[in-house]
Structure 1
Amino acid sequence: MVYITGDTHGDLERFKHGRLRWLSKKDTVIVLGDFGFVWDGSKKEAAHLKWLQKRRYTILFLDGTHENYDLLAAYPTEEKFGGLVQPLGGNLYHVCRGSVLELEGKRYLCFGGGESPDKEEREPGVNWWPQEMPSEAECARCEANAAANGYQVDYVLTHDAPTKFLDFTALKQGQTNRLHEFLDRLLLKLTYDRWFFGCYHKDTRLSTKAECVFCGLIPTSESHARR
C-alpha cells in the first residue's frame, strides 16, 4: 500500500512510532517535502540515513525548503517507479521534480520545491539554497510529463500548493510566488482524483479533492473511499 505523510524535518522519531512500525516490504511511504535528512552531512545525519535505508518499506520523498540542495545534487539520478529519482541507498529515494510515478497501478505526479518565508534571515549555502524554487527546466519537465499522460493522473503530490487551495483559508501565508503561479496553471489542465501537499504543518482536508498533510499517515486507497 502507498501512504502519504507530510514534512519530517529530519525527525527520526516520526518513523519509529505509529503505523510506520508495522509496514512491510510491499508498502511505500511518500514524504511531501522538507524531508530534512539531507541537511548538514554530519555523522549523526549519516547514521539516521543508514537507519532509514534499512526499513522494510520503500521511502520516497519530495524536496521542500529544508534540504541541502548541494548535498542532494551529489546523488546520481536514475529511472525507477516510472519516473526520475535519486537513490540514497537501500529503499530510500528522492523524487525529482516533475516525475510521474507508477505505484500499484496508479499514477502520481510529483513536484517538490517551495520558498522559505525567512530566507532573508538565512545564509546562502549554509541553511538556504536558491534551488528550493523550481527552475524553468523543471517546470517544463513537469509540464511535458503531465502532457505525456494526457494531463490525467490519479494523484498529485506537491510540497506547496496552488493559490486556489490557499486563498480564503488559514493556510494562506505571504505573497503569491512563481511556484504558486505554476501550480495554478497546472491545476487548470489536470484531471486527478486527489491532490496532497505538505508545507503548512497542518493536517487539514480542504475539499473532497485537496488535502494538506503534516503528521498524518494517509493510505491512498482510503483516500478514494473517503471521497
Structure 2
Amino acid sequence: MVYLTGDTHGELDRFKHGRLRWLGKRDIVVVLGDFGFVWDGSKEEQKKLDWLRKRPYTLLFLDGAHENYDLLAQYPVEERFGGRVQALGGNVYHVCRGSVLELEGKKYLCFGGTESPDKEEREAGYNWWPQEMPSDEEYAACEANLEANGWQVDYVLTHDAPSRFLDFTSLAVGESNRLHLFLDKILLKLTYEKWFFGCYHKDVALSTKSRCVFCDVIPMGERHAKR
C-alpha cells in the first residue's frame, strides 16, 4: 500500500514509531517535502540515511526548503515508477519535480519546492539554496507530463500548495509567489481525486479534495480513495 506523510526534517522518529514501523517490502512511503536527510553530509546524517536505506519498504520524497540541493544534485537521475527520480541507495528515491508516477495502478503528480519565508536571514549554499524554487524547465516539464496524461491523474502530491487553498485559511502566509500561481494554474486545468501537500506543519482537511499533511500517516487504499 502507498502511505503519505508530511515533513520529517531529518528526524527518524516517525519511521521508528507508529504505523511506518510495521510496513513491508510491498509498501511505499511518500514524504511530502522537507525530507531533511540530505542536509549537511555529516556522519550522523549518513547513519540515518543508511538506516532508511535498509527499510523493507520503498521510500519516496519530494523536496522542500530543508534539502541541500548541492548534495542532492550528486545523486543519479533515472526513470522509475513511470517518472524521473534520483536514487539515493537502497529503496530511497527523490522524486523529480513534475513527474507523474504510477504507484499501485494510480497516477500521482508530484511537484516539490517552496520559498523559505526567512531566506533573507539565511546563507546561500549553507542553509539556503535558490533551487528551492522551481525553474522554468521544471514548470515546463510538469505541464508536458500532464499534457501526456490528458491533464488527468488520481492524486496530486506537492510540498507547497496553490494560493486558492491557502486564501481565507489559517495556512495563508503573505503574498503568493510564482510557485503558488503555477499550482493555481494547473489546479484549474487538472482532473484529480484529491490533492495532498505538506509545508505548513498542520494536519488539516481543507475540503473533500484537499488536505494538508504533517505528522499523519495516510494510507492510500481503496477505502481512503472513496471517502
Q: CA deviation at 1:220?
A: 1.1
SS, match of residue 107 in structure 2: strand
- Residue by residue, what CA displacement relative to the aligned partner does 1:27-86 show, whole Å, maximum 9, x if unpaired? 000000000000000000000000000001000000000000000000010000000000
Q: Give 1:59's aligned amino acid.
A: L
Gap regions ≥5 residues in structure 2: none
Q: CA deviation at 1:15?
A: 0.6
Match in the other structure for 1:92: 92
Q: CA deviation at 1:26?
A: 0.4
Match in the other structure for 1:218: 218
SS, match of residue 207 in structure 2: coil
Gap regions ≥5 residues in structure 1: none
- If the length of structure 2 is used for normalisation, what is the TM-score? 0.99
- Residue by residue, what CA displacement relative to the aligned partner does 1:144-170 show, whole Å, maximum 9, x if unpaired? 001100000000000000011100000
Supply the distance in 2 between the matched residues of 1:5 and 1:33 (Cα, whole angstroms): 9
CA RMSD of aligned residues (A): 0.6
Supply the distance in 1 between the matched residues of 2:55 and 2:99 (Cα, whole angstroms): 24
Q: How does 1:175-190 map to 2 (within 5 A)?
A: 175-190=175-190
SS, match of residue 30 in structure 2: strand
- Residue by residue, what CA displacement relative to the aligned partner does 1:167-211 show, whole Å, maximum 9, x if unpaired? 000000111000000000010110000100000000000111000
SS, match of residue 8 in structure 2: coil
SS, match of residue 19 in structure 2: helix
Q: CA deviation at 1:223?
A: 2.8
Q: Give 2:49's aligned amino acid.
A: L
Q: How does 1:46-195 map to 2 (within 5 A)?
A: 46-195=46-195
Runs of 4+ in structure 1 off by over 4 angstroms are none
Answering whether residue 203 of structure 2 is matched by residue 203 of structure 1, we say yes
Supply the distance in 2 between the matched residues of 1:182 and 1:125 (Cα, whole angstroms): 26
Supply the distance in 1 between the matched residues of 2:36 and 2:174 (Cα, whole angstroms): 23
